[in-house]
C-alpha cells in the first residue's frame, strides 16, 4: 500500500435491509472524516446492490453465508485475509464475523462489548443496546467515532441526510414514466403505503392500513401500494379494500430500482421495516408505526431522515406494548396530513 494512501477499513453490517440502511450515517462519518480511506462493507447478497450504490463505499464483500458459525467464520477469514484491512468496525456482532476478522489478522477490531463474540475484538465499546436508550444509527455512529478517535479525529465533522441520492434528472425521468404508465395526473402528491414487514416488529392490521389509506387519499393525492416480491398477495388484499384510485408497485427488479422509485415519493408510510429506512436514507418524509416494546420502539429504530420529515406512532400508554390495534389511525392520518403533506 502506498505511503500516501489512507487506511483500509472494513465495516460489517450483514443482517437485514433496515439494519444496513441504519449503518449509512456511520459509513458517511468515516468517509467525511477520512476522505483517503478505502472503505469496504461486508453484506449479504440481498443488500449488495445498495452497498454498491453507496457513495461512501469503495468495495463490497459478500458474506459467504455458509451453515454453521465456525464454517462461515473460516470461509470469511479466507476471503478477508488477502485484503489486508487495517481495521474492522463491526456494527452488529456475531460469532462467525468476529472469528473471521480475528483469523484474518485485522489489527484493529472494533465491536460492541456484548456477546461471546467480543472475545475476538481488541477494541470493545460498551453500548448496552438492549436498553434502547437512543437510536440504532447513533450506536453505529459511536463505533465509527471510536475508530476515528484512535486515528486522531477527536471531533468528527458531522453528517446528515440524505445519505442516498440519485441524479435529479434520472429521478424525474423515472417519475414521468411512472405517472404516464399508471395514468396519474402530474402534480398529484404520491403517498407510498407499505403494509408488509419482515416480522421483527409488530405491525398494523390490513384493516388499519385500509382505514389509513382511505383517510390519506384525496383529490390532490394518489396512493401507491408498495410491496416486496413475497408481499404482493398482501398488497393486493389491501388494494381490494380501497375505492380511492391507487397503484400497486411490487419490487420485482431488485432493491436499487425500488429505491429509485422511492426517491420521488412525497410520503412513505409503513411499519418498522426495511423499506422505511431506505426511504429515510433518501430523506423522504416518513410516517411509521412501532410497538412500544423496548427492543422495537420508535426511539430505538428512529429513521435517519431530517427531524421535520418523520413522524412515529406507538400504542398509547396503558395499552399492551405490542397492541398495534390500540393505535388510532384516524388521528394519525390527521397528523400526517397536517405535518407531512
| Confidence band of 1 (pLDDT split at 50, 70, 90) | very low
User: Average pLDDT, stretch 135-144?
Assistant: 97
Peptide bond into 162 cis (omega under 30): yes
pLDDT at 118 over 70: yes
C-alpha cell recorded at residue 41:
462493507
Say what angle helices 95-103 and 69-80 make with each other, to 10 degrees. 40
Report pLDDT for 112: 95
Query: 136-150 and 24-33 helices cross at what angle (nearest 10)?
Result: 20
Q: How many C-beta neighbours within 10 Å does residue 223 have?
A: 24
Residue 266 CB-density burial (10 A; 0-12 exposed, 13-18 middle, 19+ buried): middle
C-alpha cell at 134: 437512543
Instruction: State mean pLDDT over 235-247.
Output: 94
Residue 130: what pLDDT?
86
What is the percent of the chain with per-residue pLDDT over 70, rounded to a whole number? 98
- What is the arithmetic mean of pLDDT over 260-286? 97
| DSSP labels, 51-88 | HHH-TT-SEEEE----SSHHHHHHHHHHHHGGG--SEE
φ and ψ at residue 63, rounded to 5 degrees: -65, 125
- Per-residue pLDDT averaged across 277-297, rounded? 95
Mean pLDDT of 224-240: 94
Q: Does residue 175 surpass a pLDDT of 90?
A: yes
> How do residues 84-94 score in pLDDT, each as one tens digit?
999 999 999 99
Query: Nearest to residue 296, comparing CAs of 203, 161, 207?
Result: 203
Average pLDDT over residues 263-292: 97
* pLDDT, tens only, 26-51: 999 999 999 999 999 999 999 999 99
Q: Which strands sit side by side in the sheet containing 310-313, from one edge to the other?
A: 246-250, 221-227, 189-194, 267-271, 286-289, 310-313
**pLDDT category, 201, cuts 50, 70, 90?**
confident
Question: 42 phi and psi, to 5 degrees?
Answer: -100, 120
Q: Is the pLDDT of residue 53 over 80?
A: yes
| Residue 295 pLDDT class (50, 70, 90 cuts) | confident
What's the predicted TM-score (pTM) here?
A: 0.94
Q: What angle do CA 208, 214, 217 make, to 5 degrees?
A: 135
Residue 201, Cβ density class (10 Å: 0-12 exposed, 13-18 middle, ≥19 buried)? buried
Q: What is the pLDDT of residue 199?
A: 67
* Whether pLDDT at 168 is above 70: yes
pLDDT the model gives residue 2: 41
d(CA 271, CA 298): 10
Q: What is the pLDDT of the chain when averaged over all its residues?
A: 95
Beta-strand runs (E) in 52-200? 59-62, 87-90, 108-112, 123-125, 189-194
Cβ-contact 135, 312 below 8 angstroms: no
pLDDT of residue 219: 87
Amino acid at each position: 500500500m502506498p505511503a500516501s494512501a489512507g487506511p483500509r477499513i472494513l465495516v460489517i453490517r450483514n443482517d437485514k435491509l433496515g439494519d444496513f440502511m441504519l449503518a449509512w450515517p456511520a459509513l458517511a462519518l468515516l468517509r467525511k472524516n477520512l476522505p483517503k480511506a478505502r472503505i469496504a462493507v461486508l453484506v449479504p447478497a440481498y443488500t449488495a446492490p445498495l452497498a454498491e450504490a453507496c457513495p461512501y463505499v469503495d468495495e463490497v464483500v459478500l458474506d459467504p453465508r455458509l451453515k454453521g458459525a465456525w464454517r462461515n467464520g473460516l470461509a470469511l477469514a479466507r476471503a478477508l485475509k488477502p485484503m489486508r484491512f487495517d481495521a474492522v468496525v463491526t456494527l452488529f456482532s456475531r460469532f462467525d464475523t468476529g472469528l473471521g476478522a480475528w483469523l484474518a489478522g485485522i489489527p484493529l477490531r472494533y465491536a460492541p462489548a456484548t456477546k461471546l463474540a467480543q472475545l475476538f475484538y481488541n477494541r470493545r465499546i460498551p453500548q448496552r443496546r438492549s436498553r434502547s436508550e437512543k437510536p440504532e444509527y447513533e450506536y453505529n455512529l459511536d463505533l465509527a467515532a471510536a475508530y476515528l478517535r484512535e486515528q486522531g479525529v477527536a471531533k468528527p465533522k458531522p453528517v446528515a441526510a440524505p445519505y442516498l441520492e440519485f441524479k435529479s434528472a434520472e429521478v424525474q425521468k423515472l417519475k414521468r414514466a411512472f405517472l404516464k404508465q399508471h395514468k396519474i395526473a402530474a402534480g398529484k402528491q404520491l403517498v407510498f403505503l407499505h403494509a408488509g414487514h419482515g416480522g421483527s416488529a409488530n405491525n398494523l392490521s390490513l384493516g388499519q392500513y385500509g382505514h389509513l389509506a382511505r383517510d390519506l387519499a384525496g383529490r390532490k393525492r394518489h396512493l401507491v401500494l408498495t410491496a416486496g416480491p413475497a408481499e404482493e398477495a398482501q398488497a393486493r388484499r389491501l388494494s381490494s379494500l380501497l375505492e380511492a384510485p391507487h397503484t400497486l408497485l411490487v419490487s420485482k427488479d431488485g432493491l436499487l430500482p425500488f429505491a429509485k422509485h422511492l426517491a420521488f415519493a412525497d410520503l412513505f408510510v409503513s411499519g418498522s421495516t426495511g423499506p422505511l429506512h431506505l426511504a429515510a436514507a433518501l430523506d423522504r418524509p416518513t410516517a411509521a408505526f412501532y410497538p412500544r416494546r423496548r427492543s422495537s420502539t420508535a426511539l430505538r429504530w428512529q429513521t435517519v431522515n431530517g427531524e421535520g420529515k418523520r413522524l412515529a406512532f406507538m400504542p398509547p400508554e396503558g395499552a399492551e406494548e405490542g397492541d398495534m390495534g390500540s393505535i388510532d389511525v384516524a388521528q394519525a392520518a390527521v397528523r400526517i396530513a397536517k405535518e407531512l403533506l
